[in-house]
């Protein structure tokens, strides 16, 4: 069910604590458009977007969200200009290098999904350090989707399953949805309850195609750099009005 911001409730209505989505996934769209609209280079949009990431993580933790997944860099994003890709790789490293200790102090665990082997060595080291430093944190899981594409994830999962069948680790008769899920990058994580996409686009963009099968989708016209507490509350309150029947 796609929910647009026109359905959103008044901010005067209180968030119901026990109905806060456990897992929120974000497609953080609109950084470049935000910069263009402000007559700035695209670099400014990404830097402003990082500030939004910090605020959204803080807000989600305060509202009791247990997992936040951020679609940070897709398998298709490699097609962007080399200088833009380089900027993003450096920006991801900078964020992890400067924020890991703060995340650890706030009891936030850093995880990742995606094919990390293709990332620059510096970024891979930053990711590994952040994961190691925060591995015992429990208040919130921060999942960074880096070089992530759902079709790539599913393809890698199928290869893993076929390989284990050939090795005799599992048999064809063992195949179930649960088993397939265990081969995905998100193994061990709860599927998202709510997907929020900013900047008005109405597509999934190869993001968590398996995991989003019963996820509520909320689309806002607000660009990611302008996404704030008011926008998050609109999404959560609208989610709380949904009757999630899971096909029943």
What is the distance between the alpha carbons of residues 116 and 128, in angstroms, rounded to a whole number? Answer: 10
Q: Report CA-CA distances (Å) from 38 to 44, 225, 228.
A: 9, 11, 18
What is the distance between the alpha carbons of residues 31 and 50, in angstroms, rounded to a whole number? Answer: 10
Tokens 């009891």 belong to: 107
Cβ proximity of 29 and 197 under 8 Å: yes
Which band of pLDDT confidence, cut at 50, 70 and 90, is reported for residue 5?
very low
Dihedral (Cα; 115, 117, 119, 125), 10-degree rounding: 110
The reply to whether 226 belongs to the active site is no
Q: Where are the domains of the chain?
A: 2-240
Among the listed residues 11, 29, 90, 191, the single catalytic one is 29
112: DSSP letter: E
157: DSSP letter: H
State the first-to-last Cα distance of the chain, in angstroms, to the nearest integer: 14
Using left for φ > 0, alpha for ψ between -120 and 50, and beta otherwise, residue 114 falls in left
Which band of pLDDT confidence, cut at 50, 70 and 90, is reported for residue 123?
very high
What is the distance between the alpha carbons of residues 206 and 148, in angstroms, rounded to a whole number? Answer: 9
The reply to whether 243 belongs to the active site is no
Taking each helix axis as running N to C, give the angle between helix 82-105 and helix 42-63, from 0 to 180 degrees, rounded to the nearest 10. 30
Provide the pLDDT for residue 18. 62
Among the listed residues 37, 54, 77, 129, the single catalytic one is 77
What is the distance between the alpha carbons of residues 39 and 46, in angstroms, rounded to a whole number? Answer: 14
Inform me whether the pLDDT recorded for 4 exceeds 70.
no
29: DSSP letter: -
Summarised one tens digit per residue, pLDDT across range 94-114 is 999 999 999 999 999 999 999
What is the distance between the alpha carbons of residues 108 and 246, in angstroms, rounded to a whole number? Answer: 30
- The CATH code of domain 2-240 reads 3.40.1180.10
Half-sphere exposure of 104 (CA within 13 A, CB side): 14
What is the distance between the alpha carbons of residues 21 and 135, in angstroms, rounded to a whole number? Answer: 23
Which band of pLDDT confidence, cut at 50, 70 and 90, is reported for residue 17?
low
Q: pTM of the entire structure? A: 0.92
Reference 65, options 20, 35, 119; nearest CA is 20
């Amino acid at each position: 069910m796609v929910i647009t911001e026109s359905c959103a409730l008044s901010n005067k209505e209180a968030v119901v604590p026990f109905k806060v989505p456990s897992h929120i996934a974000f497609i953080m769209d609109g950084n470049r458009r935000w910069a263009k609209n402000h007559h700035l280079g695209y670099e400014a949009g990404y830097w402003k977007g990082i500030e939004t990431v910090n605020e959204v993580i803080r807000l989600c933790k305060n509202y009791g969200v247990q997992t936040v997944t951020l679609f940070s860099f897709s398998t298709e994003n490699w097609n962007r200009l080399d200088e833009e890709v380089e900027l993003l790789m450096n920006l991801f490293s900078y964020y992890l290098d400067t924020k890991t200790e703060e995340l650890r102090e706030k009891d936030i665990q850093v995880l990742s999904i995606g094919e990390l082997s293709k990332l620059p060595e510096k970024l891979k080291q930053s990711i590994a350090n952040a994961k190691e430093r925060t591995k015992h944190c429990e208040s919130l899981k921060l999942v960074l989707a880096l070089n992530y594409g759902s079709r790539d994830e599913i393809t890698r999962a199928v290869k893993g399953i076929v390989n284990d069948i050939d090795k005799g680790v599992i048999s064809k008769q063992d195949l179930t949805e649960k088993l397939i899920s265990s081969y995905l990058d998100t193994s061990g994580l709860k599927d998202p309850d709510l997907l929020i996409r900013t900047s008005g686009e109405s597509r999934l963009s190869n993001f968590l195609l398996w995991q989003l099968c019963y996820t509520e989708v909320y689309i806002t016209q607000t660009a990611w750099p302008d996404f704030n507490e008011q926008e998050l509350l609109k999404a959560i309150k609208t989610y709380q009005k949904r009757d999630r029947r899971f096909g029943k």
